[in-house]
């Protein structure tokens, strides 16, 4: 199911909308004007494009499609055990909403935290909105992916359980209808993106562990 061009989470939305569309069209062709845009939107929103990027163990690829909202130093982070930097990515409703592993590793911990539903582009939203925090580890470092809801997004999906092993670019979940995804990595990493830059999950290199890496 994970290899389908449509994310499995979207199939119920598409089927229900299609059934409603057929029923209403039987009553009036004019109903297409109302129902067809919803059907097309769900097909578009839940698209699951194939990404063919090669793996690189020294690189953090973007865990999501969207725009880099901010890059900020966060000080010492107990979860990864060192000074950290946070890269926040804003996803509009027009972005692919599937989250992918930025680097291979195993799940150290996964914590769901209830919260509010402020617009994801608000600077303080990441601190108080509902979120799912996934801490990964490998033989090089620890890093965190935060799935954060937004004003429209109300449903976080995680494919992972504790001690799950993920490979780079593997789907790890999704957030429905507009959101924010954060990547927290060691501060010594070399940045390869800037604030405001558009990124693509599993394709755009956000940072690297080694100075010798060139995009």
* Residues belonging to the active site: 179
Provide φ and ψ at 56, rounded to 5°: -145, 110
Helix (H) or strand (E) holding 19: helix 11-27
Alpha carbons 167 and 157: distance in angstroms, whole number? 18
Q: The tokens 């930025």 sit on which residue?
A: 102
Rounded CA gap, 46 and 130, in Å? 21
Look at residue 99 and give its three-state secondary structure.
Answer: strand
Are 66 and 96 contacting, i.e. CB atoms less than 8 angstroms apart? Answer: no
**Contact by Cβ (8 Å): 108, 164:** no
């Amino acid at each position: 199911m994970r290899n389908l061009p449509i994310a499995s989470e979207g199939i119920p939305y598409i089927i229900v909308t299609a059934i409603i569309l057929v029923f209403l069209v039987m009553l009036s062709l004019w109903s297409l004007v109302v129902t067809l845009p919803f059907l097309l939107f769900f097909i578009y929103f839940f698209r699951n494009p194939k990404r063919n990027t090669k793996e690189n163990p020294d690189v953090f690829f973007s865990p999501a499609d969207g725009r880099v909202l901010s890059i900020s130093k966060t000080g010492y982070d107990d979860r990864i055990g060192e000074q950290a930097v946070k890269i926040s990515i804003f996803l509009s409703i027009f972005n692919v909403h599937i989250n992918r592993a930025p680097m291979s590793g195993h799940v150290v911990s996964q914590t769901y935290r209830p919260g509010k539903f402020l617009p994801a582009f608000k600077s303080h939203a990441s601190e108080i909105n509902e979120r799912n925090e996934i801490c990964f580890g490998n033989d090089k470092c620890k890093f965190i992916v935060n799935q954060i809801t937004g004003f429209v997004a109300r449903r976080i999906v995680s494919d992972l359980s504790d001690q799950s092993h993920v490979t780079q670019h593997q789907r790890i979940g999704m957030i429905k209808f507009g959101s924010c995804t954060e990547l927290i990595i060691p501060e010594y990493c070399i940045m390869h993106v800037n604030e405001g830059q558009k990124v693509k999950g599993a394709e755009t290199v956000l940072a690297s562990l080694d100075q010798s890496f060139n995009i």
